Amino acid sequence: MDVTIRQGWFRAGSPFGQATLLSAVITALAVSVLFGPNGQSVLFLLGVGITFGGYLLVLWLVLQRAAVQVDNPVLTLASRITAIRATGAVLLGGFIVAGTGAETANWLPAVLFAAVAALDGIDGYVARRMDETSTFGGEFDTQVDAFAILIGTIVAVRLGAAPAVFVAIGLYQYVFFLGKKLRQHKGYAVHDLPPRKRRTYVGATSMIAVFVVLLPGVPSGVTWFLAVIAMIPITYSFAVDWLYAIGWMSHT
């Protein structure tokens, strides 16, 4: 049964709130056991907590943007799947502080990110199949994509699998958003971007690049090279969108 966001999202007593909180806590504790009693489990949980704070900020931004379009956004099944994806990204953030450590944990960053990426196709399919597409759902999906990519790039750099500049592809979405807000605040025109398939391809490229770089056992020289190569089309796409948004060129 669908519930409105304000009725069900932040209430700890709601079934959705309880399930989300419980699954996150149990999964985080289970993963932390892999590190053993050497203090790394505490670092992992600390990383999860910090990342969860970032997720709450993202969620707040989504709700603010959706509220402009919809008086009472609805929490559909598709949006709940998107929330599960966000939980995976939050758990991935634990490795930012803890690293991997135990051999078993070496695969977990790639596995978690792969799960988040795989569910990206499922939530969209469910939304279309059940006729649940909405402004809120689309915005939520987009922001969770950006959040997962940002966390994935930071983890890749933390593990030494990519150069620090790789984090840029995770920051582009936020820099773009803040740049638009700054221009609007100063009274400059900002143009809406028309739909383009190119962004879908770029999003897929970002997901694939982060996943491959996170795979254990791949020589760092190879992952660094792949990370830099992947940045070229992604950087180009955001540059084109920015120039269009500020009116310097027609969209291509």
Per-residue pLDDT of the chain (252 residues; tens, 9 = 90+): 444 555 444 444 444 455 556 666 666 666 666 666 566 778 888 888 888 888 888 777 777 666 555 545 567 788 888 888 988 998 899 899 988 765 657 888 999 999 999 998 898 889 888 887 877 778 888 889 999 999 999 999 999 999 999 999 999 989 998 899 899 889 888 888 887 888 889 989 999 999 999 999 889 899 999 999 999 999 999 999 999 899 887 655
Q: Which two three-digit tokens encode residue 153?
A: 């790039």
- Under 8 Å CB-to-CB from 37, ≥6 apart: which residues? none
Residues pairing with 3 in the sheet: 75
For the chain, domains (ranges, CATH) are 3-245 (1.20.120)
Q: Which two three-digit tokens encode residue 185?
A: 């605040």
Residue labelled with tokens 């920051």: 171
Q: For residue 184, with 0-12 CB atoms within 10 Å meaning exposed, 13-18 middle and 19 or more buried, which class applies?
A: exposed
The pLDDT value recorded for residue 16 is 46
The pLDDT value recorded for residue 23 is 61
Query: Which of the 8 DSSP states describes residue 214?
Result: H
Residue 38 neighbours by CB distance under 10 Å: 10
pTM: 0.85
Half-sphere exposure of 163 (CA within 13 A, CB side): 12
Half-sphere exposure of 29 (CA within 13 A, CB side): 6
Residue 182 neighbours by CB distance under 10 Å: 11
Q: Which two three-digit tokens encode residue 40?
A: 């790394």
The pLDDT value recorded for residue 198 is 87
Compute the distance between CA of residue 97 and CA of residue 1 in angstroms, rounded to an integer. 38
Compute the distance between CA of residue 82 and CA of residue 138 in angstroms, rounded to an integer. 10
The pLDDT value recorded for residue 24 is 64
Q: Which two three-digit tokens encode residue 199?
A: 């962004």
